[in-house]
Amino acid sequence: MSTKKWFNASISEVANALSTDTEKGLTTENVQKRYEMYGRNELKAKPKKTLLQKFVDQFKDFMIIVLIIAAIVSGVVGIQNGEGMADTFIILIVIIVNAIIGVAQENKAEKSLEALQKLSSHVAKVIRDGKMVVVQSADLVPGDIVVLDTGDFIPADLRIIEAVNLKVQESALTGESLPVEKFTDAIEDENVGVGDRKNLLFSSSLITYGRGKGIVVETGMKTEVGKIAEMINEAEDEETPLQAKLDNLGKTLGIVALVICAIIFVVGMLYGKEPLSMFMTAVSLAVAAIPEGLAAVSTIVLAIGVQRMVKKNAIVKKLPAVETLGSASVICSDKTGTLTQNKMTVKKVFTNGELVDLESITEFNEELRQLFQAEMLCNDTKVAEDGTLTGDPTETALIDMGNIVKFNLEKHPRIAELPFDSERKLMTTVHKVGEKFVVYTKGGVDELLACCTTYQKKGEIRTDLDNYRERVLECNRKMAEGALRVLAAGYKVIDHTLSEGDIKNLEKGLTFVGMVGMIDPPREEAKEAVKKCNEAGIKVVMITGDHKITATAIAKELGILKNDSEAITGSELEKISDSQLKERVRNISVYARVSPEHKVRIVKAWQANGEIVAMTGDGVNDAPALKKADIGCAMGVVGTDVAKEAADLILTDDNFATVVSAVEEGRRIYNNILKAISFLLSSNVGEIVVLFSAIMLTPILASSFGVSANDLDVLLPKQILWINLVTDSLPALALAVDPAEKGIMKKKPLKNKKGIFTRGMSWRIIYQGVMIGLITLAAYILGLATPGIDAAAKVATAQTMAFTVLALSELVHVFNIRNNKESVFKSNPFNNGKLILAIVVSAVLMLTVLFVPALRAIFGIVELPVSQIEETICLVISPLIIVEVFKFLKINGTKDE
């Protein structure tokens, strides 16, 4: 029999299909055979990568590969040139450190399946050989008869064969907040979602009320939880937007470097320069073209962001998740426990023909007192010494109701009861009050009215119930339209000793007293969070296993839903193809009664439209979508282990509003990474410009200043590496903690397909890079023009000036990078203390190289004359003046930003 058909089959058909006895269960021999056939009732995990594999993966980045090649070439050239392998070691150290950071931060083993296995590691009571025994849930096989009581975890997927007031909490699997009533009858409809298969029990759910028995129909990976596990296994790790953009950037820079190297090598050879010297120059260009510190800086910037996120109640499990969240354009959120409080709460009270808010009640008339007495005494909630309530969420809400309005409950001993069942939809208790007995009944409105012959209004017991019924049903409809679950209450007094006849007729001749309406209310902070998302251009989508009427009511209150046409059910979604969903997805804000597969389809549909999707959730059913989304956000308090392990980010306060602050932090970090990239690349462009220009001008410079063309090396590889890895990297890192720009949450999110380089950013990198390159070239020419020294000293002085100007002008240039619109003198240049410290440290390191003779020798530079020092200082501060002029003239490339 197909797995999908178990709910359509009768108990006898299921028993026959599985060759089991519903009374005696399986024999020990049968169990052993089935154990060999079906295997253990547990979930399988896919093989994990070893630490070595993760480490090796760090070297697959194109930029890293080009750097490794550059290190090898640099080493070979260094050995042949007698300069050793210092350059090679410097590059390799950077690469290895970057790899170690990557492994340390991303050593998030795929624990989703382990968490799912923990859910299955309970014991189960089964009937075998006619006797009840306790076995590990992993030892269950199809055909086993499982006995269940209140509080039991369901160890496998079961077809119910006995149900006594059986209620099950399935919110972790289906997303429905209320416990589901279960029954034994076969379901005729073949197209029934998981949440409506009420004659089945699903692995990992919890019995909250009643007792029952079931036949094991599916185990291990064949269960509904198993299917989710399989989906998690099949889900591929998605490359984040920044990873993709940096990867493309690395490839582009690598190709540019190789092309420029080839051109320079050919030009140099045509100029008659030595091949080895030109090869060295080509390596210098390759090193200059690639920002060696970029990968490490980006990783560390994200790591710093992670530490800041912890303070904002968000734990990031994977570094790139920070910037992904900052780029999020859609947030698909589970309803129960994420947008709502996951706690049923009474909102409306009906007595005396009036419907009022619970919070408005300050005094108790006789009708209110009777209603509260009925709802709170006809109740099985257990109250612990510390005030903690345990029991059915509907009943705990009724106790909370009394606590909220400080109702003084008169406790009377319960001497008899009629438990709730799904047929009557009523619960009745009898209490001894003095010498009399009071019967309290609560339940569905229609069912309770059928048991009543009178009603109480304004202190009187009245008999014209038919007239009053219309008002009752009108208010019931109003509450139902607001997605409130309504419970009515009635009572009667028995002033004689209880007889058997009284017990049989407890639910007859009642007096209707009132109704209460309850709902799992939205979080107050979620409303503001949704509003902020709307302002930030982020679409919020509600995805829930709950009923459509409840979902739409909550969504409207939160501001997610504007009209009912934007809400659909899982059944309606089933009829829509993937291509149709891709077209319609922008017009759907609420999905109700959905399965895990639906959630993944929804995420994929948004991604197919080029959107970056964040998914929040807390249940087992959310795990596949959490993993498929660009970033999964799990709830830390009520979230299941499965959801936490599948997610990239965990919200420690279970607050949807934290998602918004995380988005803001993500945007700040992403902007700061762009600042770092802009700073590093403009520096690299400057290095390329000065090297390329110097090579092209070699004949002119050689003849003009009386030096040999073979000696004209404007910068050495080690000098470029020092600038790229030491002088530049510290300020780039300090940009990570730059404060967020004003109105950062008023901007639209970055589009997924939009590269790192906007037109404005590209323009700034190019013109500022050319500026730095020409300033450095000017320093080099001024050095060559130094009077009174020989040709070798001219070259050494020129190289020293170029090295100094390039390094220190980039430190000045970092102030230009911080704000592309406002003048440095209008904004506060000192509101990032770490940046000031980084600039000071970098400057001190550079000055140490310039003034310590041993270091000067290592870097191939000389002590500068006083006249050259003055010229150098003027050139160093010139980038600040030039960019200020560009900002004043509004040609700094900010129109498209």
Q: Which residues are annotated as catalytic?
A: 334
Distance CA 517, CA 473 (A): 13
Instruction: Find the DSSP H helices in 343-414.
Output: 366-377, 393-404
Check residue 613 and report its DSSP letter. Answer: E
- Bridge-based pairing of strands 206-218 and 145-149 is antiparallel
Contact indicator for 120, 41 with CB cutoff of 8 Å:
yes
Dihedral angle sign, alpha carbons of residues 50, 55, 61, 66 = negative
At 767, phi and psi to the nearest 5?
A: -70, -35
**Residue 289, both tokens:** 């073209």
Which of 486, 472, 480, 445 lies closest to 553 in space, CA to CA? 480
- Bridge-based pairing of strands 539-543 and 590-592 is parallel
Dihedral angle sign, alpha carbons of residues 81, 82, 85, 90 = negative
| Chain position carrying tokens 């029954």 | 183
Contact indicator for 667, 326 with CB cutoff of 8 Å:
yes
Which of 582, 568, 634, 626 lies closest to 600 in space, CA to CA? 626
Instruction: Find the DSSP H helices in 50-153.
Output: 51-57, 62-80, 86-106, 112-119
State the angle between helix axes of 275-289 and 62-80 in degrees (0 to 180), rounded to the nearest 10. Answer: 150
Cα within 13 Å of Cα(280), Cβ side: 24
Check residue 310 and report its DSSP letter. Answer: H
Check residue 819 and report its DSSP letter. Answer: -
Question: 771-793 burial, b if ≥16 CB within 10 A, otherwise e?
Answer: bbbbbbbbbbbbbbebeeeeeee
**How many residues does the structure list for the chain?**
897
Please report the DSSP string for 563-610 in residue order.
Answer: SGGGEEEHHHHHTS-HHHHHHHGGG--EEES--HHHHHHHHHHHHHTT
Q: Angle 268-270-272 (CA atoms, 0-180°, nearest 5)?
A: 75
State the angle between helix axes of 465-481 and 548-558 in degrees (0 to 180), rounded to the nearest 10. Answer: 60
Contacts for 709 with CB less than 8 Å, ≥ 6 apart: 271, 272, 273, 698, 699, 702
3-state class (DSSP) for residue 387: coil
Contacts for 131 with CB less than 8 Å, ≥ 6 apart: none
Check residue 25 and report its DSSP letter. Answer: -
Is residue 282 within a helix (H) or strand (E), and if so which, with residue range?
helix 275-289
3-state class (DSSP) for residue 884: helix
Question: 196-229 burial, b if ≥16 CB within 10 A, otherwise e?
Answer: bbbbbbbbbbbbbbbebbbbbbbbbbbbbbbbbb
